[in-house]
Chains A and B, each alone.
Chain A
Amino acid sequence: MTIAPERPARPTNGSLVDQFELGLDAPICLTWELTYACNLECAHCLSSSGRRDPRELTTEQCEAVIDELQRMQVFYVNIGGGEPTIRPDFWHLLEYAVEHQVGVKFSTNGVRITPERARFLASTDYVDVQISLDGATSEVNDYVRGAGSYDMALNALQNLQDAGFLDAKISVVCTRQNIGQLDEFKVLADLFGATLRLTRLRPSGRGADVWDELHPLPEQQRVLYDWLMANGEDVLTGDSFFHLAAFGESLPGLNLCGAGRVVCLIDPVGDVYACPFAIHEQFLAGNLLADGGFQEVWQRSELFTQLRSPQTGGACASCQFYDSCRGGCMAAKFFTGLPLDGPDPECVQGYGETALLAERSIPAPSQDHSKANATRNQPIMLQLLTRPPISDCAESPLAGYEPGAPPGGCCS
């Protein structure tokens, strides 16, 4: 890790957003991915998860991280993965964190939320459960998350409700396929006594491979914005949609990029990245095992210090909406090959579409824990995408089919 020189004194006045841009002594929103192992193979996985990494933090190392978070007064942590609940020590670490004044919100696909675990969760304080669901119907959900994943999520929600667990979260990544289901998601959430949480699809991890097909169309961005303006008070969004603020009014929630300022990510091997959507060496601040602990990385890494220094609007500086959207999401720009000081690829003023047409090169991933061989859980869409066409111009569904020939080609 490169250490930054001492930071200069900061002004004591100014708005909260101004203060956030200069960074905090500890993060507000810390995501900690406990494992790269996962039972599912979602097409858009941010962290390209699938297989456990042999270097993943041990139970003792995880406890030491929690001890440090307690000392830093990080009051709660968002635990994810991979699928965190398939780590054998997950339930132990959950209790350990809560006992050390570090509240836990964990994201899960529901695989281990049995009736018994649901009853345990209902008996705890300071634990929030977030079930991932990317379609209000199995058809839409399983398309990206894999066969059976919708039933798994709803089963988990049912178990939580039956156990008396109050206010679970249903976490939805907004896609072209599910923007039309926002009302249905709300109905589902109400049915399970849950709160809906909407997040933005990022072109990160395997998401880079499917972003062109899944990201909401420009007119859908407007639908989403209008829906959030009407329903936003009852729906969680974190800082997902601040790029939509350029439609006019700011949405409820934090309207700025928190990366390295109020937000960061600890990955399963202890690497600290600027945000959960930026798992790439470009946004790697340091490693908490190699660089003297999390506090040292958070407070002194050169990358985070740079992210907390005043930013210029670059190509966006002359746009009248720059103060609203602040140029959008750094990770979305980076993983679509756009310059970081230009428009967001989904800029609602349309500058992103223009930028995407220009010459750009999409960065190669710096890690990939995807399963080497597809399992039955892999979403069908990837099987279609990975099968090479007979030829570039053979559009006929019967291309390559020869009556009487041995089975093969596209139907094998």
Chain B
Amino acid sequence: MADIEALLGEPWVLSPSVALRPEPFGALAYHFGNRKLTFLKRPELVAVVRALGEQPDVRTALRATGVPEAEHRAYAEALLGLAAADMIRPRGVAA
């Protein structure tokens, strides 16, 4: 699970081609480039994804949005899933 530890220390951001649409359960993320739809099933996850770009790394974004330390790994796994569809990407990668 080195991926997760590494992710927590890295700067990430919402992909520039992705729009988030608020929904009662969280949000719907749409990628205008690859046309994938993804569902963020918790409002807390939406807050984390929105905070990514404003914080130096993922762990700080999780803390800033009030996610308990015990849940960081679970959130990091969810973020890896979003990364696989290019919904979020490491900061510094061009669009």
Contacts and interface: CB of A to CB of B under 8 A. Distances in A.
B24 A101 contact: no
Interface stretch (B5-13, B28-36, B87-95): B28-36
A22 B32 contact: no
A126 B32 CA distance: 7
Interface in A1-59: 10, 12, 16, 19, 22, 24-26, 28
A25 B22 contact: yes
Chain B interface category by residue count: 10 to 19
B32 A101 contact: yes
| Chain A CB within 10 Å, residue with most, of B19, B24, B35, B41 | B24
Given A101-B32, A103-B32, A28 B24 contact: no
Contacts of A101: 19, 32
Interface string A123-146: 001100000000000000000000
Interface string A71-102: 00101100000000000000000000000010
A16 B37 CA distance: 13
B30 to A, nearest CB: 4
B21 A25 contact: yes
A75 B19 CA distance: 9
A103 B91 CA distance: 27
Contacts of B21: 25-26, 73, 75
A125 B33 CA distance: 8
Given A12-B43, A73-B19, A75-B19, A19 B24 contact: yes
Given A75-B30, A101-B19, A12 B25 contact: yes
A12 B23 CA distance: 11
Nearest to B43: A12
Contacts of A75: 19, 21, 30, 32, 37
Contacts of A26: 21
Interface in B28-56: 28, 30, 32, 35, 37, 39, 41-43
Interface residues of A, number: 16
A129 to B, nearest CB: 14
Given A73-B21, A75-B19, A28 B28 contact: yes
| Chain A CB within 10 Å, residue with most, of B23, B25, B35, B42 | B25
Contacts of B28: 24, 28
A19 B25 contact: yes
A111 B15 CA distance: 38
B24 A103 contact: no
Nearest to B33: A125
A10 B19 contact: no
Contacts of B43: 12
B24 A22 contact: yes
Nearest to B44: A12
Given A28-B37, A75-B19, A10 B24 contact: yes
B23 A24 contact: yes
Nearest to A76: B35
Nearest to B31: A75
A345 to B, nearest CB: 30
A28 B41 CA distance: 15
Contacts of A73: 19, 21, 30
Contacts of A22: 24
Contacts of B22: 25
A308 B68 CA distance: 34
A169 B83 CA distance: 27
A16 B39 contact: yes
A410 to B, nearest CB: 53
Contacts of B32: 75, 101, 103, 125-126
Nearest to B41: A16
Nearest to A74: B21
A329 B23 CA distance: 25
Contacts of A19: 23-25, 41
A103 B25 contact: no
A75 B34 CA distance: 12
A-B complex: 4 closest residue pairs judged by Cβ atoms: A73-B21, A75-B30, A19-B25, A24-B23
Given A75-B21, A101-B19, 6 more contacts: A12-B42, A19-B25, A73-B21, A73-B30, A75-B32, A101-B32
27 contacts: A10-B24, A12-B24, A12-B25, A12-B43, A16-B25, A16-B39, A19-B23, A19-B24, A19-B25, A19-B41, A22-B24, A24-B23, A24-B24, A25-B21, A25-B22, A25-B23, A25-B24, A28-B28, A73-B19, A73-B30, A75-B21, A75-B30, A75-B37, A76-B35, A101-B32, A103-B32, A126-B32
